[in-house]
Amino acid sequence: MTEATPPTGTGPLGRREARLAWGLLLPTVLAVSLVVILPLIAIFWISVKPVGLADLRPVVPVVREDVRDAGEAEMRVRYRVQNRSQDQVIGEVVVRDTIPGGVTLGALPEACVLEGVDLTCRLGDLETGGRVELEIPITVAGDLDAAEEAIEDTTEALAEGQADNVLTNLTFTWENFARVFDGDEFWGVLYVTLFYTIVGTVGALVMGLFAALLLNKSFRGQGILRGLYLFPYVAPVIAVAFAWILLFDPFSGSANALLIQMGVTDEAINFFGQRPLALIMVTVFEIWRYFPLSFLFILARMQSIDSDMYEAADMDGASPFQQFWYLSMPQLLGILSVLFLLRFIWTFNKFDDIFLLTGGNAGTRTLTVNVYEQAFAVSNIGAGAAVAVVIFCCLLLFAVFFFKYVSREEGL
């Protein structure tokens, strides 16, 4: 009897190779964790926190220092400490300063202690919007200008304190998600997002397929035409977006002038300013701008298909449509599925195109535009993060459905 050979990868050499492989992958895993996983965790954390735009700046006391003439040759150094937060109490406030040479302090307030040239004032808790002013008499070797110059040449006074940070405390709320799902606004935004994503994705794939079929045959000027087809995708988005805005401008746009001269319409059409035309226009822009990506992948797959079966089908009397439907399409379903997955995710997350064309107005506000409006226009970072979580969940559900049903049928 022959001794059974252990399965590949279970012997000492296999285990050593596995450890080496994981060691080589470790930098990539760490990079992905830092770039993807940590920001994702932060978004989930902020989505359940009552965080506004102003809360991103830490709550600290503010101190201002100046020298004033109190009359009768007496001068005082003044410290004005303020808590600018309207909802956070700053505890254990301490003001520290370095007294320059040639300046002698007089009677100190009870909260202040001088050790050498280091002045420390412990002010306790500072209420919301609270202010504290300290004045200490000083004697200087010179006039007031010399005192001010000496104090300015030293380090500025610093104020320290402890305040509750809404980003790191254990206060949670579901108000952000309640704000997102409140009323019919969310469902209207979701409908716009789905319409824009699905129609834009399918349109880009269909237009890319037609372009690939057109350029799959050799003819004179084929290379130039391929380069022109790539222009929408490689051109800067801000340039092509403003070109479309100028082209379809209701007052000076060439499109409106042409339609009026042809008698199609009696008055100018506001393409990007009225419902539902604005949504249709931004979707058409999405199709026009991103069909070259589908065109490149589909054309590359078409040119890798063996031409012998087309010759055999032609000899059997198959029509061009039959050759396309029964021979080309089965070969293209794999790349079309991958393109649909990528384009769906990218279009669902698209922000810059819509924001440049309409700013999210006239019924074109998608979920990504809603993230921007909640986080920055309304200054509610928590609500913006909650919308981002909703986007992540929608894409996760789509990915699960795609890999469970669609990719299995296509053998991906």
Confidence at residue 389, expressed as pLDDT on a 0 to 100 scale = 93
Let me know whether 230 and 110 are in one domain.
Answer: no
CB 50 within 8 A of CB 166: yes
Which residue stretches of the chain have pLDDT < 70?
A: 1-10, 69-74, 141-155, 183, 406-412
Would residue 25 count as lying in a domain? no
CB 93 within 8 A of CB 124: yes
Let me know whether 153 and 187 are in one domain.
Answer: no
Would residue 12 count as lying in a domain? no
Q: Which domain CATH number covers 145?
A: 2.60.40.290
Report which DSSP code applies to 37: I
Residue-wise DSSP of 58-79: ----EEEEEEEEEETTEEEEEE
Confidence at residue 35, expressed as pLDDT on a 0 to 100 scale = 83
pLDDT tens-digit map of 171-184: 888 888 888 887 67
Residue with tokens 């822009």: 285
CB 370 within 8 A of CB 189: yes
Let me know whether 208 and 301 are in one domain.
Answer: yes
Report which DSSP code applies to 216: T
DSSP bridge partners of 62 = 82
pLDDT tens-digit map of 147-202: 566 665 556 788 888 888 777 888 888 888 888 887 678 888 999 999 999 999 99
Let me know whether 267 and 357 are in one domain.
Answer: yes
CB 88 within 8 A of CB 128: yes
Let me know whether 333 and 289 are in one domain.
Answer: yes
CB 333 within 8 A of CB 406: no
> Would you tell me how many other CB atoms lie within 10 Å of the CB of residue 315?
8
Let me know whether 130 and 216 are in one domain.
Answer: no
Let me know whether 133 and 213 are in one domain.
Answer: no
Helices (H), 82-184: 144-153, 175-181
Let me know whether 129 and 268 are in one domain.
Answer: no
Would residue 132 count as lying in a domain? yes
Listed residue (381, 401, 405) closest to 393, CA to CA: 401
Let me know whether 134 and 182 are in one domain.
Answer: no
Would residue 47 count as lying in a domain? no
DSSP bridge partners of 98 = 118
Virtual torsion, Cα 263, 265, 269, 274, nearest 10 deg: -150
Would residue 312 count as lying in a domain? yes
Let me know whether 180 and 329 are in one domain.
Answer: yes
CB 324 within 8 A of CB 185: no
Would residue 88 count as lying in a domain? yes
Q: What share of the chain is helix, strand, coil (3-state, %, to 5)?
A: 55, 15, 30
Confidence at residue 1, expressed as pLDDT on a 0 to 100 scale = 46
Number of domains in the chain: 2
3-state secondary structure of 199: helix
CB 193 within 8 A of CB 286: no
Reading the block at residue 56, the tokens are: 């991103």
In this structure, what are the phi and psi dihedrals at residue 299, rounded to the nearest 5 degrees?
-65, -40
Q: Which domain CATH number covers 278?
A: 1.10.3720.10
Omega within 30 of 0 (cis) for the link into 109: no
Separation between Cα atoms, residue 363 and residue 271, nearest integer Å: 12
Letter string b/e over residues 317-353, b meaning 16 or more CB atoms within 10 A of that residue's CB: ebeeeebeeebbeeebeebbbebbbebbbbbbbbeeb
Let me know whether 88 and 181 are in one domain.
Answer: no
Let me know whether 314 and 381 are in one domain.
Answer: yes
Helices (H), 173-324: 175-181, 185-214, 222-229, 231-234, 237-247, 254-261, 277-303, 308-315, 320-323
Q: How many CA atoms lie within 13 A of 50 on its CB side?
A: 9
| Structural domain span for residue 73 | 58-162
Would residue 393 count as lying in a domain? yes
- For helices 381-401 and 329-348, the axis angle rounded to 10 degrees is 170
3-state secondary structure of 95: strand
Would residue 30 count as lying in a domain? no
